[in-house]
Amino acid sequence: MKLQRGLPEWLSYLLKALFVMIFPLSFYFTDPLHLLLLPANGLLFPTNLYFPETLFDFSFILSMLSSIFRNFLIGLIIALPGIYYNYKLARAPLNQSFWKRGIGLAAAIYFITLGITLFLSMTIFSPFSPLLDDLYYLYSKILYYPSLVMAVFIMLPLFLRQATIISVPSDLHDYSMRDIESTPKFNISREKMLSAIFWLVICFAPYAIEYDIYSWYGSYMATSFLMDYRIGSSVYYITDTISLSFQGQIAMLPNMPFFALLFAFNFAFVRDVYRYLRKTITRNRLIAMAILSCLFPLLISFGLSGLFIFGLYVVLIPIPLPIIQFVGLLMIRYHQPQIVQSERVWRGDRAEMWWETGKRKRTEPIVYQATPEKPVRHREEVITVPLIDLFLSRIRKLKWRNNSE
Query: Domain segments of the chain: what residues?
Result: 9-343, 354-404
Report how far residue 126's alpha carbon sits from residue 128's, in angstroms, rounded to the nearest whole number: 5
Residue 187 confidence class, pLDDT cut points 50, 70, 90: confident
Decide if pLDDT at 43 tops 80: yes
pTM: predicted TM-score of the whole model, two decimal places: 0.72
d(CA 164, CA 162): 5
Provide mean pLDDT across the span 317-341.
Answer: 75
CA–CA gap between residue 339 and residue 168 (Å, rounded): 7
Which of 84, 83, 138 lies closest to 116 in space, CA to CA? 138
More confident residue, 313 or 230: 230
pLDDT exceeds cutoff 80 at 374: no
Q: Please give the backbone phi and psi of residue 400, each rounded to the nearest 5 degrees, phi first.
A: -65, -40
Lowest mean pLDDT among 171-180, 249-258, 262-271, 346-355: 346-355
Averaging pLDDT over each range in 4-18, 99-113, 260-274, 377-391, which range is the top one?
99-113
Q: What is the pLDDT of residue 23?
A: 92
CA 14, chain centre distance (Å): 19
- How many residues comprise the chain? 405
Dihedral angle sign, alpha carbons of residues 279, 281, 282, 286? negative
Distance between the two ends of the chain, CA-based, in angstroms?
Answer: 57
% of the chain with per-residue pLDDT over 90 = 19
> Is the Cα dihedral 254, 255, 258, 264 positive or negative?
negative
Q: What is the pLDDT of residue 138?
A: 86
Highest mean pLDDT among 258-267, 330-339, 376-385: 258-267
Residue-wise pLDDT for 61-85, tens only, equals 777 788 889 899 999 999 999 999 9
Q: Mean pLDDT, to the nearest integer, of 357-384?
A: 47
Q: Which comes out higher in pLDDT, residue 160 or 383?
A: 160
